[in-house]
Chain A
Amino acid sequence: MSHETLSTILFLVFVAGTLAITFWASRNNKSATDYYAGGRSFSGAQNGLAIGGDYMSAASFLGIAGIIALSGYDGFLYSIGFLVAWLVALLLVAELMRNSGKFTMADVLAFRMSPRPVRTAAGVSTITVSIFYLLAQMVGAGALVGLLLGIKSDAGKMWTIVAVGLLMVIYVVIGGMKGTTWVQIVKAVMLMTGAALVTLLVLGKYGFNLSGLLGDAAQQSGKGDSFLIPGLKYGTEAQGIWGKIDLISLGLALVLGTAGLPHILIRFYTVPTARDARKSVLWGIGIIGVFYLLTLVLGFGAAALVGTKTISDSNKAGNTAAPLLAEKIGADIFGDVGGTVLLAVIAAVAFATILAVVAGLTLASSSSFAHDLYAHVFKRGQVTDKEEILVARIAAFVIGAVAIILGIRAQALNVAFLVALAFAIAASGNLPAILYSLFWKRFNTAGAVSAIYGGLVSALVLVIFSPAVSGAPTAMFPDADFDLIPLSNPGIFSIPIGFLCGYLGTILSKEYNAAKYAEIEVRSLTGIGSEKATSH
């Protein structure tokens, strides 16, 4: 049996299993709390796994291993930013949000503000961030299928994107948060198991001598010791000072973006208490941290055993480094059949990864549309649970359709910057608004609206005029030339702009509500009056 057939079979088993779980989990989907927040009945450990499942995208699994395999150490910079970011969520956001919010990020922002303008801004930002992220994953799915399942034709790629889109809509529409959370849990276990297995085999081959592995990787890469230090990909010496500022800008967006990503924030609502939210972040940090240490070995292992040239011949961005490594190490240790099986397993895990992440993003954006924009802005809160859930389901269909169409149309584009952009908007617009809401007494409607739009617009504008969009050979429009700003990552400017807009908007408006601040402060720290779990 070829690895393509085996991968497809394994992937279909995953789909069948998760669909069964989704149907089973949807039995008790009655109230809005069930649909949006899984009845708030997941345990800290379960939600911690789901956090890992939501967060460890194909970009982290295949992308980071690929960057390390091709450019050495630089991929590790990504991992570290992605991990340290969780401390912001743990110390400042998770518990306080769980105590003061209900279903979406906007619940916390609109708590003591004039609800319609703030919910509109938060809804727009949530949907923008999620769609950018979603689009990057969808395009990635199309590219991956060619590499892993041997589907090279355009029609084949198109149908893969359609299938991924349909599946994610089914998970979300039928399972709501419960179904989606279980998909994340299953995927997180599969991903950790797969990555740990390959890592152990690689380390075993080197007799657990990491230094030997690094030496081989550096030698195979042809770049020597510079392969083991930062600077081959980000902020290269050739790019000069702007390259280095760009590196710092990327680092800032990574560390401050996570706690502003809507699909991550809504995970804190799925547990019964703030203490469980804390526990889930602790689990998440453990799982995500170990995972990134595994990808370090996978990346250098791929460079050492498969070789940088073979990897870049297979895919210019290095996305196939982990699967190729699985095949090589499997064949080395267990013979050809072992190689085929291990490659098939890792390919199936990669698909499960994409599917779980896109489901989480679809849920976050459709929830925000239904709960923030439809129920609170259009209907001013005058809706029944039933109507709101129906709208959420319709929104999931529409978002799924949009993602499928854009995913197919954007196949030829380089969309890597979309993830960086999503993180930059989350860090520049959402995080300032969340932190001010939770900690600054004087904060008000004008401040919240200016922080979100200020961060969102400045990040977007900076990216439009960056080398990611025009002027560079790898740009979205390589032939056009309006790259006025020499930064691919807008964070270093847009994050301070977001905070500054929030500050100025606040002090330029006289409005503020001391009584409501007392309420959010007391609620967020003590859990008085917080939303309870539903029991069935």
Chain B
Amino acid sequence: MTVQHDSSVYERIQASEQFQELRRRYRSWAFPMTIAFLAWYLLYVVLSGFARGFMGTKLFGNINVALVFGVLQFVSTFLIAWLYSRKAAANLDPLADELRNEAEETVK
């Protein structure tokens, strides 16, 4: 493939509306989500350091807030991973495929 070292092709694609849309869709989902899960995780770490009374509150039997909060970090991780895979398959992959097919057409 000659496209590999031809930067002008990439600049043209980068400027295209389709690519800008792909970039916008990806960034507008991935960046806020990253900030959200990092904030959620840091909240957990900070509470583990500074709010031990609260973390020790028993909810049922010996199951306390600390354990439930910890397990919720697992749940949110699984959930975000699943949401991302759905988002990517529905919104990102088709657009990326289109751009790739077009680019590979032009160099043939």
Let me know if B8 and A515 touch, CB within 8 A.
yes
Q: How far is the CB of A300 from chain B (nearest CB, A)?
A: 10
Q: How far is the CB of B92 from chain A (nearest CB, A)?
A: 8
A194 on interface, CB distance cutoff 8 Å = no
CA distance A230 to B66 in the complex (A): 8
How many residues on chain B are close to A (CB under 8 Å)?
A: 54
A523 on interface, CB distance cutoff 8 Å = yes
Chain A residues in 8 Å Cβ range of B66? 73, 228-230
Let me know if A80 and B41 touch, CB within 8 A.
yes
Let me know if B26 and A525 touch, CB within 8 A.
yes
Chain B residues in 8 Å Cβ range of A515? 7-8, 10-11
Segment at the B interface, from A157-165, A278-286, A361-369, A443-451: A278-286
Chain B interface main SS type: helix
Partner pick for A526 among B42, B46, B82, B96, CB 8 A cutoff: B96
B91 on interface, CB distance cutoff 8 Å = no
A76 on interface, CB distance cutoff 8 Å = yes
Chain A interface main SS type: helix
Chain B residues in 8 Å Cβ range of A522? 10, 13-14, 19, 99
CA distance A450 to B61 in the complex (A): 52
Which parts of A213-246 form the interface with B (CB within 8 Å)? 214-215, 218, 225-226, 228-231, 235, 244
CA distance A66 to B10 in the complex (A): 52
Partner pick for B77 among A84, A279, A526, CB 8 A cutoff: A84
Which parts of B43-64 form the interface with A (CB within 8 Å)? 44-46, 48-50, 52, 55-56, 60-64
A88 on interface, CB distance cutoff 8 Å = yes
Let me know if B10 and A83 touch, CB within 8 A.
no
Q: Which A residue's beta carbon lies closest to that of B16? A: A522
Partner pick for B93 among A91, A225, A275, A514, CB 8 A cutoff: A275
Chain A residues in 8 Å Cβ range of B23? 521, 525
Chain B residues in 8 Å Cβ range of A293? 71, 74
Q: How far is the CB of A299 from chain B (nearest CB, A)?
A: 12
A527 on interface, CB distance cutoff 8 Å = yes
How many residues on chain A are close to B (CB under 8 Å)?
A: 55
Let me know if B34 and A77 touch, CB within 8 A.
no
Let me know if B100 and A80 touch, CB within 8 A.
no
Partner pick for B10 among A80, A289, A523, CB 8 A cutoff: A523
Which parts of A501-530 form the interface with B (CB within 8 Å)? 514-516, 518-519, 521-523, 525-529
Contact flags (1/0) for A161-182 with B, using CB distance below 8 Å?
Answer: 0000000000000000000000
Q: Which A residue's beta carbon lies closest to that of B18? A: A526
A140 on interface, CB distance cutoff 8 Å = no
Partner pick for A528 among B3, B34, B85, CB 8 A cutoff: B3
B1 on interface, CB distance cutoff 8 Å = yes
Let me know if B74 and A80 touch, CB within 8 A.
yes
CA distance A473 to B41 in the complex (A): 32
Q: Which A residue's beta carbon lies closest to that of B34? A: A91
A sample of 22 inter-chain contacts (CB < 8 A) reads A73-B66, A73-B67, A87-B80, A90-B81, A92-B30, A211-B63, A212-B62, A225-B64, A230-B55, A231-B49, A255-B41, A278-B85, A282-B81, A286-B78, A292-B74, A293-B71, A293-B74, A516-B7, A523-B10, A525-B96, A526-B100, A527-B96
Residues of A within 8 A of B (CB): 73, 76-77, 80-81, 83-84, 86-88, 90-92, 210-212, 214-215, 218, 225-226, 228-231, 235, 244, 247-248, 251-252, 255, 275, 278-279, 281-282, 285-286, 289, 292-293, 514-516, 518-519, 521-523, 525-529
The 4 A-B residue pairs with the shortest CB-CB distance, nearest first, are: A211-B61, A251-B45, A515-B7, A230-B48
